[in-house]
């Protein structure tokens, strides 16, 4: 019995210290987040109800851009950098967040106590990536009347989109073209 408990304890410690259990780091082949002080320029993006202004942005590879996001709409909006496939996947995550009650039309709820009564076992955490939180470095939520920032260094020439992936917003036209050239 004593030996069996020691073996079980050793197995648990090995499993917990294994790198296989570590959360994967966010990596993006088109760049990485940066500090605002590193930005070589700032671009203001105004969020209206189902629109971005400007609708297209040109950037040079290697450039660090500070996006200043101003939500002049009446609804919660998101500014997310990625390609169409990334947005489609993120839209499913945002739908789950909305269905859980975490996202409201005008804001985001803290889930620490709001989720206390939820059945976490029935939730599809694999589709949620890191679980029930909105913390992707290529994305920011902006409440109505608020301003937020996202600073990004673009590593290579690529065609991307900036989009709002709150359910229905992308489909209603809340997407813009972001072209990174050499």
Domain at 136, CATH number? 2.60.40.420
The parent domain of residue 65 ranges over: 26-109+125-181
Residue 168 lies in a domain: yes
Percent of the chain scored above 90 by pLDDT? 70
* pLDDT of 6: 53
Q: Which residues does 40 contact at the CB level (< 8 Å), separation at least 6?
A: 63, 64, 65
Write down the pTM of the prediction.
0.76
The answer to whether position 95 is within a domain reads yes
How many domains does the chain fold into?
A: 1
Q: Quick one: average pLDDT of 15-32?
A: 60
Cross-strand partners of 150:
67
Of all residues in the chain, the percent with pLDDT exceeding 70 is 73
Residue 78 lies in a domain: yes
Contacts of 112 (CB under 8 A, 6+ apart): none
pLDDT at 14: 40
| Selected residue with higher pLDDT from 159 and 134 | 159
d(CA 67, CA 29): 19
Q: Per the domain annotation, does 103 fall within a domain?
A: yes
Give the mean pLDDT of 131-152: 90
């Amino acid at each position: 019995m004593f030996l069996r408990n020691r073996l079980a304890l050793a197995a648990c410690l090995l499993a917990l210290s294994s790198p296989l259990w570590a959360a994967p780091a966010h990596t993006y082949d088109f760049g990485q987040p940066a500090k605002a002080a590193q930005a070589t320029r700032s671009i203001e993006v105004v969020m209206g109800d189902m629109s971005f202004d400007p609708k297209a942005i040109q950037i040079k590879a290697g450039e660090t851009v500070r996006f200043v996001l101003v939500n002049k709409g009446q609804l919660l909006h998101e500014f997310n950098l990625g390609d169409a496939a990334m947005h489609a996947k993120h839209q499913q995550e945002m739908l789950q967040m909305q269905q859980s009650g975490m996202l409201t039309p005008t804001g985001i709820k803290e889930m620490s106590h709001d989720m206390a009564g939820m059945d976490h076992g029935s939730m599809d955490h694999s589709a949620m990536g890191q679980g029930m939180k909105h913390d992707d470095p290529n994305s920011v939520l902006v409440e109505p009347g608020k301003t937020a920032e996202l600073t990004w260094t673009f590593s290579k020439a690529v065609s991307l989109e900036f989009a709002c992936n709150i359910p229905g917003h992308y489909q209603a036209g809340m997407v813009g073209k972001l072209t990174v050239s050499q």
